[in-house]
Amino acid sequence: MDITTKNTEDAPLPPPRPTVAEQKRNARGATRPGDRVFLGLSRGSGILLLVIMAAIAVFLAYRASLAISKDHGNFFTTFEWNTNLVPPVFGIAVLVYGTIVSSVIAMGLAVPVAVAIALFITHYAPRRLGGAISYVIDLLAAVPSIVYGLWGALILVPHMNGLFGWLNDYLGWTGLFSWDEGAPRSMLTVGILLAIMILPIITNVSREVFRQVPQMHEEAALALGATRWEVVRMAVLPFGRSGVISASMLGLGRALGETMAVATVLSPDFDIHLSLLNPGGGTFAQNIASKFGEATQDGRDALIASGLVLFVITLLVNGAARMIIARRKEYSGANA
Amino acid sequence: MPTTYFARRRRWRLWKELPKVKLQRKNRLRALSLGAVAVSGALALTACGSDDTSSGSGGASASASSSSSIKCDGAKGQLLSDGSSAQKNAVDAWVKNFSQACGVQINYKAGGSGAGVTAFTQGQIPWAGSDSALKPEEVTASKKVCSGGQGIDLPMVGGPIAVGYNLSGVDNLVLNASTLAKIFNSKIAYWDDAAIKKLNPSAKLPHLKIQAFHRSDDSGTTDNLTKYLIAAAKSDWPYSGGKTWQAKGGQSAAQSSGVAQQVKQTNGSIGYFELSYVGDGVTPVSIDTGASAPVAPSTDSATKAIAAAKVVGTGSDLSLSLDYATKAEGAYPITLVTYEIVCDKGNKADTLPTVKAFLNYMASEDGQGMLADLKYAPMPDEIIAKVRTTINGLS
């Protein structure tokens, strides 16, 4: 700011910078080839993206409509997926439930931990320790999902018995945590595995957001006598809130669409079980992965129809997240 | 809470360090490279894991030496095929020997029977593998591809489907169709159920919950098991059957390897899979078919069951109708037959010699003789003789 004041005193005024509107006008009449090439490239990319999305949507909708018109059950309420019957019978109720429940469990477990890790790295940990933790978290993100699946099936599942027994003893009366001592390949295990898988992405984004907190906000809070926790609560968290929400939505997107890890760990069936500990249930992506290999033409169309529903759910979730972020922007301090 | 002097100093240090974000980039690069190491390690791991499923292929290399008697008969070029994964190990072993002897490149994708039949009826591949015979509408569809002819089924590979269990202290479990149906339909919940005790008077059965595992994906294995249950215990298995598991309750896992893995690591469990998955903590159930002694799954007992099958295909089609309720001595009733599907007439001229030569090798004594080592059941003599005649008549 003080540079401009100096300019007014002892140097001749620079030519006025063109306003945004003027720049736009110039762009249209741009004569330099670089401008035109770049304009074409960026506009082309934008259009290409829209065309691809539209093509995917049309393809999904067309194949889905073929399948749904043949469906002998109710597409939304049938608790069965048998496309080998003539006529085929299938419904998505179980998949909707399973997908949402596993993702909600994953978010419930991962978001608090991820935010805590991000806060620890940025505001509490000594520099070296923080670096080491960031590094380990980055490593978690690099592990492919099938490896998480194998780890879940071979190591996590056999070690869940203790936790499940404990939950059953103390919380079994709620119904949500009753357990019939089957192998613990259930929605809760899947949720825990998904939580580990989405932890790095939420942590990384939150960490970057917390790093952006204006120093002045923190200093101001400290000057008012705030403790470290109060600084976090009053300056850091409100500033980072929209960032944390976007981070969570990125994680949720991964949890909703996770395929191989769920297919390896879960023991799927086509029923909605109140208990989160008993094996059963299923998710969209897992169902597509398990059924695709032996699917006939009808079966594939039915799976595509379920894919369309997942597409819509993801769209709704992202829309909701954007709305939340847009609403919070004014007082979050993100524009400070 | 008042802030201590040290806390304040540390905070000050933190702020001083805040703008130094540059260091971060270096860290990330290092994380990436280490991540790559982790990924490649993981890939190696998965590769080891999948070895399990083809445990029979060791036998393939052993029998490769005796492949001198293969007749190539003008086989040349490339051959693409797709279909049943149940016969994959057998076809892979055949392909290995045949391509060595004749210099032909054969690629069997094992993408599933459905995929194989679809590709065949669309004319993409000259030969497909399937674990069920062509349906009437598929035969109709094949007429477009086979000019003047139609698709036919040639039974080539048999496989006993073992019902395997893991129950410590019990070595030789005998079950019949009715108890099996009740176990898989959650009607029998404990190992010391009266029905199981009756079949196993000398076994010490614990009061332990039965954990029944089935396939979560659609499968010919499920299809054949449920066909057996329907044929031999209709009243206890109130479902229509098919490749999709229909019974309620129990647990599921993907692929035979997944089911076998679960049975292996869970005491008190039972599941079904190809014979090659038996062993290593998984014991096969002997089936009380009504014959004088219970029958254990083996390649021999499966071949005996296939011998009791009737050929129901018309013309040159050799599709079999297995007698799942067979009481023949030593015949294991839960058996799967995979077919090779080709055109009887109107095969494409450029692939016909290769397909014929390769099918001939499959059906030859050498080809069938390799099967037992791979834990598959060879076709009985009477049926394989018909198959050979049919192959020679392909045009």
pTM: predicted TM-score of the whole model, two decimal places: 0.75
- Does A293 sit within 8 Å of B218, measured CB to CB? yes
Residue A169 and residue A59 share a domain: no
Structure token digits, residue B382: 């009477």
Residue A93 and residue A225 share a domain: yes
**B200-230 per-position pLDDT tens digit:** 999 899 999 999 999 988 888 899 999 999 9
The C-alpha atoms of residue B358 and residue B104 are separated, in whole angstroms, by 10
- The residue that leads in pLDDT, B60 or A152, is A152
Q: Give the number of other Cβ atoms within 10 Å of residue B322's Cβ.
A: 22
| Interchain CB contact of A128 with B (< 8 Å) | no
Structure token digits, residue A129: 């320790």
Kindly state the average pLDDT of the residues B14-29: 49
| Interchain CB contact of A87 with B (< 8 Å) | no
- Does B114 sit within 8 Å of A294, measured CB to CB? yes
Query: To the nearest whole angstrom, how far is the Cα of A291 from the nearest Cα of chain B?
Result: 5
Nearest-CB residue to A263 (from B118, B254, B262): B254
Select from A29, A46, A70 the last residue of a domain. A70
Smallest CA–CA distance from A121 into chain B, residue: B14
Query: To the nearest whole angstrom, how far is the Cα of A240 from the nearest Cα of chain B?
Result: 16
**A interface mutation test: which of B40, B132, B218 has the most A CBs within 10 A?**
B218
Q: What is the pLDDT of residue B192?
A: 92
Q: What is the pLDDT of residue B258?
A: 86
Structure token digits, residue A144: 């492919």
- Does B31 sit within 8 Å of A142, measured CB to CB? yes
- Does B251 sit within 8 Å of A183, measured CB to CB? yes
Residue A43 and residue A121 share a domain: no
The C-alpha atoms of residue A198 and residue A243 are separated, in whole angstroms, by 16
The three-state secondary structure class of B277 is helix
Query: To the nearest whole angstrom, how far is the Cα of B341 from the nearest Cα of chain A?
Result: 17
Query: To the nearest whole angstrom, how far is the Cα of A25 from the nearest Cα of chain B?
Result: 38
- As a 3-state breakdown, chain B gives helix, strand, coil percent values, each rounded to 5, of 45, 15, 40
- Does B252 sit within 8 Å of A127, measured CB to CB? no
A75 is a domain residue: no
The answer on pLDDT for B143 being more than 70 is yes
- Does A264 sit within 8 Å of B258, measured CB to CB? yes
Q: What is the pLDDT of residue A29?
A: 59
**b/e string for A192-231 if b means 16 or more Cβ within 10 A?**
bbbbbbbbbbbbbbbbbbbeebeeebbeebbeeebebeeb
Show residues of chain B in contact with A84, CB under 8 Å: 218, 242-244
The answer on pLDDT for B33 being more than 70 is no
The rounded percent of chain B whose pLDDT value lies above 90 is 44
- Does A131 sit within 8 Å of B27, measured CB to CB? yes
Q: Give the residue among B326, B342, B346 at the shortest CA–CA distance from B334.
A: B326
Q: What is the pLDDT of residue B218?
A: 85
Show residues of chain A in contact with B271, CB under 8 Å: none
**B293-303 per-position pLDDT tens digit:** 999 999 999 99
The three-state secondary structure class of B212 is strand
A215 is a domain residue: yes
Kindly state the average pLDDT of the residues B223-248: 90
CATH number for the domain including A155? 1.10.3720.10
A5 is a domain residue: no
Residue A321 and residue A180 share a domain: yes
- Does B112 sit within 8 Å of A85, measured CB to CB? no
Residue A95 and residue A47 share a domain: no
Mean pLDDT of chain B: 83
Contacts of A224 (CB under 8 A, 6+ apart): none
Residue A142 and residue A41 share a domain: no
Structure token digits, residue B166: 């893991």
**B interface mutation test: which of A181, A260, A294 has the most B CBs within 10 A?**
A294
The answer on pLDDT for B49 being more than 80 is no
Q: How many CB pairs under 8 A join A and B?
A: 131
The answer on pLDDT for B129 being more than 50 is yes
Chain A residues 237-266 with a CB less than 8 Å from chain B: 263-264
Whether the Cβ atoms of residue B290 and residue B175 lie closer than 8 Å to each other: no
Nearest-CB residue to B39 (from A131, A144, A181): A144
The answer on pLDDT for B13 being more than 70 is no
Kindly report the three-state secondary structure assignment for every residue of B69-94: CCCCCCCCCEEEEEECCCCHHHHHHH
Show residues of chain A in contact with B132, CB under 8 Å: none
A139 is a domain residue: yes
- Does B34 sit within 8 Å of A139, measured CB to CB? yes
Nearest-CB residue to B111 (from A83, A134, A293): A293
| Interchain CB contact of A32 with B (< 8 Å) | no
Residue A208 and residue A130 share a domain: yes
The C-alpha atoms of residue B221 and residue B225 are separated, in whole angstroms, by 6
Show residues of chain A in contact with B338, CB under 8 Å: none
Q: What is the pLDDT of residue B10?
A: 62
Q: What sign has the CA pseudo-torsion A141, A143, A149, A153?
A: negative
DSSP A243-302: HHHHHHHHHHHHHHH--HHHHHH----SS--S-SSSB----HHHHHHHHHTT--HHHHHH
Nearest-5° angle of CA B85, CA B90, CA B96?
115
Q: Give the residue among A296, A335, A330, A325 at the shortest CA–CA distance from A83.
A: A296
Domains: count for chain A: 2
Residue A91 and residue A51 share a domain: no
Residue in this structure with the two tokens 């004319």, named with its chain if needed: B123
Q: Cis before residue A87, ω within 30 degrees of 0?
A: yes
- Does B7 sit within 8 Å of A228, measured CB to CB? yes
- Does A142 sit within 8 Å of B36, measured CB to CB? yes
Q: What is the pLDDT of residue B6?
A: 62
Residue A220 Cα distances to A46, A231, A296, B124, B205, angstroms: 43, 9, 66, 72, 73
Nearest-CB residue to B252 (from A82, A267, A295): A267
Residue A235 and residue A121 share a domain: yes
**B260-295 per-position pLDDT tens digit:** 988 998 889 999 999 988 888 899 999 999 888 999
Extract the residue ranges of chain A whose pLDDT is less than 70.
1-16, 18, 20-30, 328-336
Smallest CA–CA distance from B117 into chain A, residue: A296
Structure token digits, residue B188: 């029998």
Show residues of chain B in contact with A123, CB under 8 Å: 14
Q: What is the pLDDT of residue B42?
A: 44
A3 is a domain residue: no
**ipTM above threshold 0.85:** no
Q: What is the pLDDT of residue A295?
A: 79
- Does B11 sit within 8 Å of A150, measured CB to CB? no
| Interchain CB contact of A132 with B (< 8 Å) | no
Select from A10, A38, A70 the last residue of a domain. A70
- The residue that leads in pLDDT, A16 or B361, is B361
Residue A254 and residue A217 share a domain: yes
Q: What is the pLDDT of residue B86?
A: 85
Show residues of chain B in contact with A134, CB under 8 Å: 24, 27, 31
The C-alpha atoms of residue A311 and residue B34 are separated, in whole angstroms, by 34
Residue A111 and residue A64 share a domain: no
Nearest-CB residue to A227 (from B1, B14, B21): B1
**What ranges in chain A are assigned the alpha helix state H?**
2-10, 20-28, 33-70, 93-119, 127-142, 145-151, 161-171, 187-211, 215-223, 228-231, 237-257, 260-265, 284-292, 297-332
A275 is a domain residue: yes
Contacts of A274 (CB under 8 A, 6+ apart): A175, A176, A178
Whether the Cβ atoms of residue B241 and residue B185 lie closer than 8 Å to each other: no
- Does B219 sit within 8 Å of A294, measured CB to CB? yes
Kindly state the average pLDDT of the residues B127-139: 89
**B317-348 per-position pLDDT tens digit:** 999 988 888 888 899 999 999 999 999 988 88
The C-alpha atoms of residue A99 and residue A264 are separated, in whole angstroms, by 15
**B67-111 per-position pLDDT tens digit:** 457 888 878 888 999 988 888 889 999 999 999 888 889 999 888
A12 is a domain residue: no
Residue A207 and residue A309 share a domain: yes
Select from A49, A70, A91 the last residue of a domain. A70
Q: Give the number of other Cβ atoms within 10 Å of residue A140's Cβ.
A: 18
Residue A264: domain span: 81-335
A9 is a domain residue: no
